[in-house]
Chain A
Amino acid sequence: SQTIHQWPATLVQPVGSPLSLECTVEGTSNPNLYWYRQAAGRGLQLLFYSVGIGQISSEVPQNLSASRPQDRQFILSSKKLLLSDSGFYLCAWERQGATGELFFGEGSRLTVL
């Protein structure tokens, strides 16, 4: 069966510090991968998606970046965090060709102080 893991689950970071969130998928090959952010009490905002290794599309210009160094690994990074980066970050995977049926990781809750 397929599983998806994110870490860390919770982190508190000062403004201006770097960020690295990691997501891995097991039990499937060549998935589409997504990073979403959810502000408190709000819906999901698509940040990045990837259809393959090294292929990253950005939906919202900001100080975040994403990388996909391996088929089932997706990393979200920032060099300098802003207060507005606080939120619940969700990684999700999707089978190639199965549009919209996303399977989410447990999420990473980021608080920037």
Chain B
Amino acid sequence: QKEVEQNSGPLSVPEGAIASLNCTYSDRGSQSFFWYRQYSGKSPELIMFIYSNGDKEDGRFTAQLNKASQYVSLLIRDSQPSDSATYLCAWGNMLTFGGGTRLMVKP
């Protein structure tokens, strides 16, 4: 069975710091990985996707994929209070979602 593991948190970081969110997955054959952000009471929104090993940067966000170790991570630089949300990783063609990590950025 496909599985995605995430630390539920909360992960608390001070404003301006780097937030590091991690996710491990079970299927070595998966090719595509996604990070969704979900504010409390709202629906998820896609913020990053990554298909290849290595890093992918988009503004303050960097996704990192290591297929050999079966993990994907999301780094948020210069964290802002507005980044406080739950971050869901997902993978596969029919998306399997992790339980999400709640991030709290404190001013």
Q: Contact residues of A with B, CB < 8 Å? A: 36, 41-46, 49, 59, 90, 99-107
Contact, CB under 8 Å: B32 / A90 = no
Given contacts A42-B99, A100-B34, contact A107 B42 (CB under 8 A): yes
The smallest C-beta distance from B44 to any residue of chain A, in angstroms, reads 5
Q: Is B95 on the interface with A (CB-CB < 8 A)?
A: yes
Q: Which of A43, A46, A59 contacts B100 (CB 8 A)?
A: A43
Tally of contacts, chain A with chain B, CB under 8 A: 50
Chain B residues within 8 Å of chain A by Cβ, number: 24
- Residues of chain B within 8 A (CB-CB) of A45 are 97
Measured in the bound complex, the distance between the Cα atoms of B43 and A101 in whole Å is: 14
Q: Flag if A90 contacts B93 (CB, 8 Å).
A: no
Is there contact, CB below 8 Å, between B46 and A44?
Answer: no
- By Cβ-Cβ distance, the 4 closest A-B pairs, closest first, are A104-B43, A43-B99, A44-B97, A43-B97
Task: Assess A59 versus B43: contact at CB under 8 Å? Given A43-B100, A44-B88, A100-B34.
Answer: no
- The CA of A45 and the CA of B4, in the complex, are separated in Å by 12
